[in-house]
Structure formats: structure tokens, C-alpha cells
Amino acid sequence: MSERYPHRDLSTACYRLPRIPDCIISLDYSPPLLYPEAMDSHTESKTSSQPPFTDPIQLRIPALNLINGSHPGILSTIDERGYPSSRWMATLSADDFPLFYTLTSPQSHKLVHLTKHPQVSWFFFNEDRTLTVSLKGQARILEDVPTLKRIWKHVQDKSLAYFLKQYSEGIGFVAIETQVQDAECSSPGANLRLHLDLNEVATHSRSRSSL
């Protein structure tokens, strides 16, 4: 597999999420671009009297909800020169946690990265940036058709996959499976940090999916 990916046509490798200026450099973005349902509530949250997090244990449930497969995250890989490379990715249902999935084009640069450096990290944050979640693990590329079809069924918003047209004509994507090995959440403004138990995350994910 590692010999195949360097020869891919990379002209269509970009993941077509809305363009967010300087998002990779500063992580400063407009939440409504990524969370449309928060368009009205975001303005209200600035004047809300809701108290900030005051205890690390308060981070647990909001953090678990943030990595439930319904929110986009920043996936970081290591490129051919050893530099980190990050991009926004839509995530899928975490029913199989600590296995975590995302879909991508077969021509994506990150597939080349993963064949040499399977170590990856995921980064999530909430709408007002008072909570962040960091996941670290090992990733692998899934290409077999039965597995891809099973994963595809879990995609809630298929419009996020710009290669949807390709799929209608045949399998036009691959999946990246991350086996999460470490999970940590924090509230930077409150100087709070909490390590998440992977078994607890898995139990929480399965209980949500059964509702």
C-alpha cells in the first residue's frame, strides 16, 4: 500500500469544507461556520451569565458529547519531511470507540503521511472555545468495500462528503480509522484539565447511539 499512495493524483486532495482564513495558524474561527445551529445562540453566549467551569469533573460530560461523531475536528498527521500537517475533517459516529472514523478522497495527501507515520492526533473545541478535547492514537487506511459500506451507513450528513457523486457511481472514498490511545480535555480559560477514561468514553458513545 505504501508504494501506491505516492503515485496518486493529488489534484483533488482538498477536503471541501468552508474556507476559514488562518484557521490552522491561530485556531481562531467563527463558530457558526462549523456549527450552523449556533448562529443565534453564539451571540447570546457572549452575554450569558452561565458560570465557567470551576472543577475538572464538570468537563467530563461536555467533552464526551464533543467527540460523539457529530462535530468536525482537526486531524493532524506527520508529513514526509516530519512536519505536522492539520486540516478540518468531519467525523463519524463513535459507536466503536476507541475506534474513530473519518472519510476522505483516495487521492488525499494525508494517506501518504499515514503510510509512513500512523501516529495522529485529533483536536476538538466547543462553540465558545471554553472546552477542548485532544485525542491521540494510531491510524490506518481502510479500503475494503464491505467495511466502507458499513461505515458509510453511519454518516449523518452525507453532504459533507464532496466525493458523494463518485460514491453514487462506485466506491469513491477510503476511510481512516484511528485507534484512540489517549484522550484529554481542558478548559484553557479556567486552567482545568481532565484525562478521559477510554472505557467510559466507549460506554457513553454506545449509550447515546442506542437512544
Residue reference for cell 471541501: 16
**pLDDT greater than 60 at residue 178:** yes
* Identity of residue 64: L
CA distance 62 to 201: 11
**Is the peptide bond preceding residue 98 cis, with omega within 30 degrees of 0?**
yes
**Arithmetic mean of pLDDT, 191-201:** 93
Beta strands in 17-145 (DSSP E): 73-78, 84-89, 99-104, 119-125, 132-142
Cβ-contact 72, 34 below 8 angstroms = yes
Q: According to the model, what pLDDT value does residue 54 have?
A: 93
CA distance 50 to 85: 36
Helix (H, G, I), strand (E, B) or coil at 209: helix
Cβ-contact 185, 65 below 8 angstroms = no
Q: According to the model, what pLDDT value does residue 201 have?
A: 86
The 10s digit of each residue's pLDDT in 85-143 is: 999 998 876 578 898 899 998 989 999 999 999 999 999 999 999 999 999 999 999 99
* Identity of residue 89: M
Query: What pTM did the predictor assign?
Result: 0.72
* pLDDT range class, residue 4, cuts 50, 70, 90: low
Cβ-contact 90, 17 below 8 angstroms = yes
The 10s digit of each residue's pLDDT in 11-48 is: 333 333 333 333 322 233 333 444 444 444 444 444 34
Rg (the chain; Cα; Å): 17
The 10s digit of each residue's pLDDT in 134-171 is: 999 999 999 998 888 888 877 766 565 555 555 545 56
